[in-house]
Amino acid sequence: MDDGIVRDGIKPGDVVVVTGAGGGFGRAFCNRFGRAGAKVAAWEINPQAGAETVAQVKAAGGEAQFFQVDLSDASQIAKAVEQTLAAFGAPYVIINNASIYPRATVIDMKVEDWERTLKVNITAPFLIVRAFGPHMLKQKRGLVINIASGRGVEGAPRGANYAASKAAILSLTKTLALEWAPHNVRVNAIIPGVSMTAQPLENTTPEELLARGKKEIPLGRVGYPDDMAGLAAFMASSDAAYMTGQAVAMNGGRVLVP
């Protein structure tokens, strides 16, 4: 670059915190950043899934540690923050990726399902960025990537809880980007399209999902975890140093109606 601007991006040895690290996208984020030389803090409720992710990162020569945490519990989040800081130091990237999606109509939804969904999907990201924030702001470099959903824009029949949480994380992305821009900590969101992971398969079969991708997605297929990991890697790179407060759809060309 010959414009004299210093563009910061992720460097080997930087710390990446990934929530829901045992799932489809979460594991791909861990593997992608692990291969690039990051220290990966794999946060996950399911110990087998978290351990498998860490094993994959290590098998490829990367560095990773599993932190067991139930994101619906504020005290467990506080503990995982302390453990991560003690093990690795302040993160360069936080990926708020974990979510749950208990399905029911508004009339039938249990209040407990509404409340747990909001706790895991939006209160946890809020608590996590608050806890790590002072450490990141002090470094004057860093990035938060919030994983949203088209449902947060379009709504979701039998998923008012999930849709509300995803609209909220888009909003949190905007506010946090404005609050942290003066400190050179960027905040962006990814809006994945329907993808081949466990979450949509709670509600359909792999065959139906593939057929839906062929029929409904302009590029003719569903998304895959590596599609999202590629975008996250770009967001963390110096090429995205001027990008903050943005929500980027990675969805094969579906038009999201606001």
Ligand X SMILES: NC(=O)c1ccc[n+]([C@@H]2O[C@H](COP(=O)([O-])OP(=O)(O)OC[C@H]3O[C@@H](n4cnc5c(N)ncnc54)[C@H](O)[C@@H]3O)[C@@H](O)[C@H]2O)c1
Binder among 15, 38, 40, 98 for ligand X (CB under 6 A): 98
Q: Which of 92, 101, 162, 224 is catalytic?
A: 162
Q: Which two tokens stand for residue 122?
A: 């939006």
Q: Which residues contact 215 (CB under 8 A, 6 or more apart)?
A: none
Binder among 10, 20, 54, 167 for ligand X (CB under 6 A): 20
Site for ligand X, residues 28 to 57, rule: CB under 6 A: 44-46, 49
Binder among 99, 117, 123, 173 for ligand X (CB under 6 A): 99
Q: Which stretch binds ligand X (CB under 6 A): 18-26, 33-41, 177-185, 239-247?
A: 18-26
Residue 12 CA to residue 6 CA, distance in Å, equals 18
Q: Tell me, yes or no, if 224 is annotated catalytic.
A: no
Binder among 186, 199, 213, 244 for ligand X (CB under 6 A): 199
* 199 three-class SS: helix
Contact 34, 18 (CB under 8 A): no
By the rule CB under 6 A, 213 interacts with ligand X: no
Binder among 173, 188, 195, 244 for ligand X (CB under 6 A): 195
Residue 121 CA to residue 124 CA, distance in Å, equals 6
| C-alpha angle 228-231-233 in degrees, rounded to nearest 5 | 110
Cα torsion angle, 145, 190, 223, 237, sign: negative
Binder among 198, 210, 211, 219 for ligand X (CB under 6 A): 198
DSSP for 184-198, written as a single string = TEEEEEEEE-SBSSH
| C-alpha angle 127-37-184 in degrees, rounded to nearest 5 | 45
Residue listed under structure tokens 């087998």: 48
Q: Which stretch binds ligand X (CB under 6 A): 32-40, 91-99, 171-179, 231-239?
A: 91-99
Contact letters for ligand X, residues 112-131 (x by CB under 6 A): --------x-----------
By the rule CB under 6 A, 252 interacts with ligand X: no
* 258 three-class SS: coil
Q: Which residue, judged by CB position, is nearest to ligand X in the bound state?
A: 23
CB nearer to ligand X: pick between 60 and 198? 198
CB nearer to ligand X: pick between 147 and 177? 147
The number of beta carbons lying within 10 Å of the beta carbon of residue 86 is 8
By the rule CB under 6 A, 192 interacts with ligand X: yes
Q: What is the dihedral of CA 197, 202, 204, 208, to 10 degrees?
A: 10
By the rule CB under 6 A, 71 interacts with ligand X: yes
Binder among 84, 117, 123, 149 for ligand X (CB under 6 A): 149
Residue 41 CA to residue 64 CA, distance in Å, equals 6
By the rule CB under 6 A, 143 interacts with ligand X: no
**Where does this chain bind ligand X (CB under 6 A)?**
20, 22-26, 44-46, 49, 69-72, 97-100, 120, 147, 149, 192, 194-195, 197-200
Just list the catalytic residues. Answer: 162
